[in-house]
Amino acid sequence: MAAIPPPVRPITLNEIRAARERIRDVAIRTPLIPLLHGTGAPEIWLKLENLQPINAFKIRGAANAVAMLDADAKAKGVWTISAGNAGQGVAYAAREAGIPCTVVVIETAPETKIERMRLLGAKLVRAPFDACWMAMEAREFPGVEGTFIHPFDDQDFVTGNATLGLEIMEDLPNVHTVVTAIGGGGLISGVGSAIRALAPDVRILGAEPETAAPGSVSFAAGEPRVFEGWQASFVDGAGGKSIFPRMWERMRDVVDGSIVVSLDEVRRAMRIVAEKTRVIAEGAGALGVAAALSGRAGDGPIVAVVSGGNIDLKKFAELIL
């Protein structure tokens, strides 16, 4: 029987600071560097979460969620659902804790990410996107046992993600806008929670691909909505079919809206980041950069969170050349 999740509640600064200490030996403090793009767009800074041990921000939330489990929950092993980055995060944290991990893998996940999860010791169960999306809401999947760690709708996971917001404000206190990708909403609600508490005037914006932008229609309606016409794309680490009502509760008070970018804008952002900084950003990792470069995120300084860099190099070259 699936566990009933606790009610959604705000995340406090004390919780975020405690999480930072808790995950210090697993997740690194990533650099914040200027993007000297030369395109006439605003001053843009890159928060390089692609430099984490798993090359994605998910290690923050996963490490905190695993560390917060009690002995009985750990003894059962853990499982999660993922297109790749959350699965890597939970698998990495589980390996560090010495407990088994299973990942229900969305069948559209790139082979690069699947292989990385396998190398981290995770048992993999492949399933269609719709089945995985339903399982994330139901918090159970046929034949999979253990303690479920939700890849975004989990208080401890979001709190771990929020540590990223602390670092941004410490490194660039005059930031005007912070832009992150919206997938399930765990990254932006975590970052938004930290920054709202420290600097309420800083704008928090999401970035989504034109093929999967439930955040944009949800903010337009003022309530969680399904995105009609969802399509799979190379932006596999972000852009769901809907915003879960519980995640809308987390996001609505700490996020100011979402910018929808075209796939061509994402490719351009990936290319500019590679050319100017020699950094590899996967599709989802380049969403915030694409939004900032478009001018639709407003004046700088803007911090674009490069949420991940897990992409097959051949595919990366095909997309940017």
List pLDDT tens digits, range 262-321.
999 999 999 999 999 999 999 999 999 999 999 999 998 999 999 999 999 999 999 999
Residues in the chain where the model's pLDDT stays below 50: none
- Tell me the fold of 59-148: Rossmann fold (3.40.50)
What pLDDT is stored for residue 299 in this prediction? 92
CA–CA distances in Å: residue 159 to residues 187, 193, 267:
9, 9, 31
The CATH number of domain 14-57+155-320 is 3.40.50.1100:
yes
Give the residue extent of every domain in the chain.
Answer: 14-57+155-320, 59-148
What pLDDT is stored for residue 28 in this prediction? 97
d(CA 20, CA 162): 9
* CATH topology agreement for domains 14-57+155-320 and 59-148: yes
Q: Which helix (H) or strand (E) holds 180?
A: strand 177-181
Buried b / exposed e over 109-119, threshold 16 CB at 10 Å, is bbebbbebbee
What pLDDT is stored for residue 1 in this prediction? 53
> Checking DSSP bridges between strand 44-48 and strand 32-35, what pairing results, if any?
antiparallel
d(CA 317, CA 65): 35
Q: Count each helix (H run) and each strand (E run) in the chain, helices first.
A: 13, 10
What pLDDT is stored for residue 142 in this prediction? 94
